[in-house]
Amino acid sequence: MFTRRDIGKLVIGAGAVSLATPFKLASAQDRPTLTIAVDNLWQNMATINGISTTSRRIFPNFYDGLVDRDYINDENGLILAPKLATSWEQNGNVWSFELRQGVLFHDGTEMTAEDAAFTLSADRLWGPKPFEPRGKTFTDGFKRVEATGKYTFEIETERPDPYIPGKLTGYMGLVVPKKYYLEKGVDGFGQAPVGTGPYKVTTFRSGEVMVLDAFDDYWDGAPPAKQVIWKIVPEFSGRMAGLVSGEFDFIVNIPTDQEATLEGYDKVKLIRATASNYPAFAFNTRPDPEDNPLVDANLRYAMVQAIDMDTIVQALFGEATFHPAVPFNFPEYGRFYDPALKPLLPYDPVKAKELVQKSGYDGRPLRWHITRQFYPNYEAAAEIMIEQWREVGINVQAIVLDNFELVYRRPFHLMNMSMSTDFIPGDPYQPLWLDWGPTASRSTASWKTWDPTEKFIELGNIFERQTEFEARKKAYQDLSAEWQRVTPGYYMWKSVYNWAHRDDIEWKPRADGEMRMFGDYLKLS
């Protein structure tokens, strides 16, 4: 049967000649306009309420963070660099920050410590009824945030937290103007955001387009483009046609099976980068439904040992990514990463069969809830895995559903998920503790899939308090071992982001998905 893509390939096969015209960058007045065709724009561009993959790619173009991750000099972005904060130092429970002077918001007001302190304040992120409640996720242990001078402020935490600068590289470190924010309210601000970034938002229609104009008073110099237009083009054929014909300068989200087609065009460059994110599935380890056979860890072990994920990843992605054999042992964790570590549950179908027998599993179907087309190649991998499980006597049914709301509805035995790894650069805190700990939605929501064991909580509390590297690494390994003993989930591969742009543009992608249209990340010829 022909699919839309097959038809597309046939027509594309007729060949095409690109009319893309390279623009000239003669002077600041003659800067080009860049048009970027995206699959979606998040509805709200407030820094916390607007958290999503689609907004993250745009945020750094109009917001600046306090601290930056340097992906130019380190592919894992483990070098922390000054941004709006020029220096910082820790004194026990208190971190002191010094801000860059003379930085202007897009509304012309100067950024001061009042704005930075408000950005991280209890009123906004972590108080009893904050403006952006999700801020609590990132501000665990915050006790006081206060401006101590026009350009200095302090963060006090309940216990010493060496990772505060690293945490400020993320969403919560994006500074907002206090006065304007309070005037507009969160929703109003999210529709007309103001930051200190190299571009200012001049038009935002969430279902359609966002237009950014160069902010020539930017503290780090005028940006290279006069205007950057982020235009929603939901259909991939439209994005591809627009790039090839020169309507667009960049496109995002190229289906894996269309990459080769796109690469076949002249004057188009395809770029891939592995992302700080791992698609996975969670086992429902709880007796809900009552007769859930996955309550028995042996069946979960069997399911893990029945999967030949290296082969699946190779077949679906080639060399573009890899399967992390040992959970949480991810290369982006620098010194925490140990390439020699062996998995506790390696691929072993014979062992898997024995474990199935040991579990007493009676062959009843296990429901695997999967969100339709949410993670590239997930459904294809699921089909192969279901066959591999069938070979060891486990009967899994993939139930592909339209959205997460449906995926979360019980009963289910397995559920798709993904986890990011970059909340603290170079540290496994997020995927291991923030996302599986006792306050995580995975442990608390109506759709929760596990109850953290007492030992996991005890080890997690130890891990959270360790600030010296060796002690923290040991605590991380212990916590990871306890997670693997329970095996409440399975990490499949490191996500791959892809983009394409005109080949006369030099652009460097980032593992966090940000599309920076300025600085060392973009060179226009």
Partner 1 sequence: MTRFWLVKIVRTLLTLWFVLTFAFIVLRTSGDPVVALLGADARPDEVAQFRSQWGLDRPLYEQYARYIAQMATGQFGISYRDGRQVIDIIAERVPWTLLLGLVAYLIAALVGIPAGILAALKRGSTLDRLIMTFAVFGFALPNFFLGILMILLFSLTLQWLPSSGTGTIWHFLMPAITLGTFTAGTLARFTRSAMLEVLDRLYMRAAAAKGVPHWKRILLHALPNAAIPIVTIIGLNLGQLIAGAIVVETVFAWPGVGRLLVTAVSSRDLAVVQALVLVIAATMVVANLLVDLLYGLLDPRIRVAR
Measured distance between the N- and C-terminal CA atoms of the chain, rounded to whole angstroms: 44
Regarding 19 and contact with partner 1 (CB under 8 A), the answer is yes
Give the three-state DSSP class for 52. Answer: coil
- Here's the x/- map for partner 1, 436-455, by CB under 8 A: it reads as -----x--xx----------
Regarding 408 and contact with partner 1 (CB under 8 A), the answer is yes
Q: What is the DSSP letter of 32?
A: P
Smallest gap from residue 11 Cβ to partner 1 (A): 4
- Here's the x/- map for partner 1, 49-78, by CB under 8 A: it reads as --xx--------------------------
Q: Which of 205, 364, 390, 485 binds partner 1 (CB under 8 A)?
A: 205
Q: What is the DSSP letter of 137?
A: G
Q: Toward partner 1, which CB reaches closer, 128 or 339?
A: 128
CA 239 to chain centre: 23
User: How many C-beta atoms surround the C-beta of residue 268 within 10 A?
Assistant: 18
Strand partners, 65: 174
Regarding 337 and contact with partner 1 (CB under 8 A), the answer is no
Q: Toward partner 1, which CB reaches closer, 126 or 347?
A: 126
Smallest gap from residue 316 Cβ to partner 1 (A): 23
Nearest to 132 by CA among 46, 260, 55: 46
Parallel, antiparallel, or unpaired: how do β-strands 522-524 and 489-491 relate?
unpaired
Could you give the CA distance from residue 513 to residue 21 in angstroms, rounded to a whole number?
Answer: 27
Binding-site size for partner 1 (CB under 8 A) equals 53
Q: Which of 23, 44, 181, 303 binds partner 1 (CB under 8 A)?
A: 44
Nearest to 125 by CA among 70, 172, 93: 172
Regarding 403 and contact with partner 1 (CB under 8 A), the answer is yes
Nearest to 81 by CA among 157, 22, 17, 166: 166
Q: Which of 92, 102, 108, 207 binds partner 1 (CB under 8 A)?
A: 207
Smallest gap from residue 235 Cβ to partner 1 (A): 5
Q: Toward partner 1, which CB reaches closer, 316 or 500?
A: 500
Q: Which of 104, 136, 320, 504 binds partner 1 (CB under 8 A)?
A: 136
Cα–Cα distances (Å) from 122 to 125, 143, 144, 170, in that order, read: 5, 9, 8, 18
Indicate the helix (H) or strand (E) that contains 457. Answer: helix 454-465
Regarding 133 and contact with partner 1 (CB under 8 A), the answer is yes
Regarding 260 and contact with partner 1 (CB under 8 A), the answer is no
Q: Where does this chain touch partner 1 (CB under 8 A) — which range of 36-44, 336-344, 358-366, 512-520?
A: 36-44
Cα–Cα distances (Å) from 471 to 179, 355, 474, 476, in that order, read: 43, 35, 5, 9
Give the three-state DSSP class for 23. Answer: coil
Q: Where does this chain touch partner 1 (CB under 8 A) — which range of 193-201, 205-213, 348-356, 424-432?
A: 205-213
Q: Which of 107, 158, 208, 506 binds partner 1 (CB under 8 A)?
A: 208
Q: Toward partner 1, which CB reaches closer, 43 or 453?
A: 43
Q: Toward partner 1, which CB reaches closer, 185 or 411?
A: 185
Q: Toward partner 1, which CB reaches closer, 72 or 232?
A: 232
User: How many C-beta atoms surround the C-beta of residue 111 within 10 A?
Assistant: 25
Q: Which of 143, 226, 231, 351 binds partner 1 (CB under 8 A)?
A: 231
Indicate the helix (H) or strand (E) that contains 270. Answer: strand 268-274
Q: Where does this chain touch partner 1 (CB under 8 A) — which range of 157-165, 244-252, 421-429, 486-494?
A: 244-252
Q: Which two tokens stand for residue 60?
A: 């750094």
Could you give the CA distance from residue 204 to residue 229 in angstroms, rounded to a whole number?
Answer: 10
Rg (alpha carbons) of the chain, rounded to whole number:
24
Could you give the CA distance from residue 517 to residue 228 in angstroms, rounded to a whole number?
Answer: 8
- Here's the x/- map for partner 1, 71-110, by CB under 8 A: it reads as ----------------------------------------
Regarding 194 and contact with partner 1 (CB under 8 A), the answer is no
Cα–Cα distances (Å) from 236 to 4, 194, 200, in that order, read: 11, 31, 28
Applying CB under 8 A, which residues contact partner 1?
Answer: 4, 7-8, 11-12, 14-17, 19, 37, 43-44, 51-52, 129, 133-134, 136-137, 185, 187-188, 190-191, 205-209, 231-235, 237-242, 244-245, 247, 403-406, 408, 417, 441, 444-445
